[in-house]
Amino acid sequence: MFYNVYVMFSRGYLGEFEHVVLLALLRLEDRAYGVTVRREIQARTNREVSIGAVYATLDRLQAKGYVKSFRGEPTAERGGRSKRFFRITASGVTAVNRTQQALQRMTEGLEVVRSYS
Amino acid sequence: MTSQPDLQSLHPPRIATWLFTLFTPAEVTESIIGDLLEEFSALVIKSGLAFARGWYWRQTLRTIAHAGGNAVSSAPWLMLVTTIGGLWLIGFATRSSAHAMQTFLDAHRLYESHPNAYLFWSKFPLEIGRLIVCGLVGAIVALAGKRMEMIAVIAISLVQIALFLAAVVVVIARGEEWSHWFIVMLRWNGLCSVATVLGGAIVSTCRYRAATRSSAA
């Protein structure tokens, strides 16, 4: 079991929520910041997500080099606070593809998956 | 005719915002609060102030719960070391200060000349000293456990409370008189736990203010 966990991390596979967050960044392109990422995930997965969980995941992805962030201009509706925009990096896209392919291989030919989809 | 919301009251709960500054890493707190304020304003217009405030509180509590789980799962050893180290430091500093005070009082033979003063100085200042020690240890642990400072100090206070309750169980099991002792010790142990959390909260607030200043500069 520990070996499997080690292999997953060493080959850059993503955790479930990391995967979802990176897909949200891909969908939002240059409009991705805390509010839009949270709303996108909530709208598409029908799952209430806390802003703290989104930021913790984005921070972790940034530490892994899958995401980069930059500050926008401060706005009045945010009490003069600036937005922190996020963008997926090339290695982030690679990690998403790798995880997608692994999931696809795992679900290939499974009747139970077909009956649920 | 619909009534317009009072613009002055359109601010999110201050205590919830303060908790956010304590439990989120200082570098991202401003962005998170900005995001929450943006969503809060939209929710006030869409669903009303009461709903928006309830949502804000839910976000706060979920974020705190997530920060706790994240600290334990991402750095379990750091959490363990800071908790055990903090408890050891409180015990060591309390014992040392009690010993130093007792040595001082014995050296001046205060119990012979002023027995009431002796009783006062051998008890009350030590408890006050213990509170100060707890606050300082909370601050030290918060400095050591960067990005999880509040979770680390809360872990120490919870263990302190658990140890106290275990001591109460032992005293009851021995069949000793415990009610008076329990009330006195509950007060000091409770205050010590609060002082530990307060020490961590001061460090966390200072970090947030420093991060806000540096991002504004």
* Residues B20-56 pLDDT 10s: 889 888 888 888 999 999 999 999 999 999 999 999 9
Looking at residue A67, its pLDDT comes to 96
Q: How many CB atoms lie within 10 A of CB B35?
A: 25
- By three-state DSSP, how is residue A81 classified? strand
Distance, CA of B197 to CA of B158 (rounded, Å):
10
Distance, CA of A76 to CA of B63 (rounded, Å):
25
Interface test with B, best of A78, A83, A85, A86 (most B CBs within 10 A): A78
Residues of A in Cβ contact (< 8 Å) with B23: 52
Q: Is residue A5 part of a domain?
A: no
Q: Is residue A17 part of a domain?
A: yes
Q: How many CB atoms lie within 10 A of CB B43?
A: 18
**Higher-confidence residue: A48 or A97?**
A97
Distance, CA of A56 to CA of A67 (rounded, Å):
12
Averaged pLDDT score across all residues of chain B: 85
In B24-123, which ranges are continuous DSSP H helix? 26-47, 49-74, 76-107, 110-113, 115-121
Contact assignment for B34 to A79 by CB distance below 8 Å: yes
Q: At B178, list the tokens.
A: 């415990």
Looking at residue A117, its pLDDT comes to 57
Residues of A in Cβ contact (< 8 Å) with B31: 33-34, 55, 71, 81-84
- Answer yes or no: is pLDDT of A6 > 60: no
Q: What is the mean pLDDT of residues B143-156?
A: 87
Which of A33, A59, A71 faces B35 most closely, judged by CB atoms?
A: A33
Residues of B in Cβ contact (< 8 Å) with A38: 35, 39
Which of A51, A71, A77 faces B32 most closely, judged by CB atoms?
A: A51
Q: At B85, list the tokens.
A: 């180290």
Could you tell me the residue range of the domain that residue A65 belongs to?
A: 11-116
Give burial (CB, 10 Å; 0-12/13-18/19+) of B142.
buried
Which of A55, A77, A79 faces B32 most closely, judged by CB atoms?
A: A55
Q: Are A61 and A25 in contact (CB under 8 A)?
A: no
Question: What CATH number is given to the structural domain containing A73?
Answer: 1.10.10.10
Q: Is residue A6 part of a domain?
A: no
Q: Is residue A36 part of a domain?
A: yes
pTM of the model: 0.77
Mark A26-63 as b/e (b = at least 16 C-beta within 10 Å).
eebeeebbbbbbbebbeeeeeeebbbbbbbbbbbbbee
* Nearest CA-CA distance, residue B182 and chain A, Å: 39
SS3 content of chain A, % helix, strand, coil (to 5): 65, 15, 20
* Residue among B210, B195, B194, B197 at smallest CA distance from B152: B197
| Stretch (H or E) spanning B13 | none
Interface test with A, best of B31, B37, B62 (most A CBs within 10 A): B31
Q: Is residue A56 part of a domain?
A: yes
With vertex at residue B42, the alpha carbon angle to CA B37 and CA B43, rounded to the nearest 5 degrees, is 95
Residues of A in Cβ contact (< 8 Å) with B26: none
Contact assignment for A78 to B34 by CB distance below 8 Å: yes
Q: What is the mean pLDDT of residues B199-208?
A: 92
Residues of A in Cβ contact (< 8 Å) with B22: none
Q: Give the rounded percent of residues in chain B with a pLDDT score beyond 90.
A: 33
Looking at residue B5, its pLDDT comes to 53
Q: At B107, list the tokens.
A: 């050296």
Distance, CA of B24 to CA of B67 (rounded, Å):
7
Residue B72 sits at the chain A interface (C-beta within 8 Å): no
Q: Is residue A2 part of a domain?
A: no
| Stretch (H or E) spanning A79 | none
* Residue among B79, B60, B74, B70 at smallest CA distance from B21: B60
Q: At B199, list the tokens.
A: 């020490």
Q: How many CB atoms lie within 10 A of CB A14?
A: 25
Query: What is each CA distance from A102 to A14, A89, A105, A114, in whole angstroms?
Result: 10, 20, 5, 17
**Higher-confidence residue: A3 or A101?**
A101
Specify the number of domains making up chain A.
Answer: 1
Q: Is residue A108 part of a domain?
A: yes
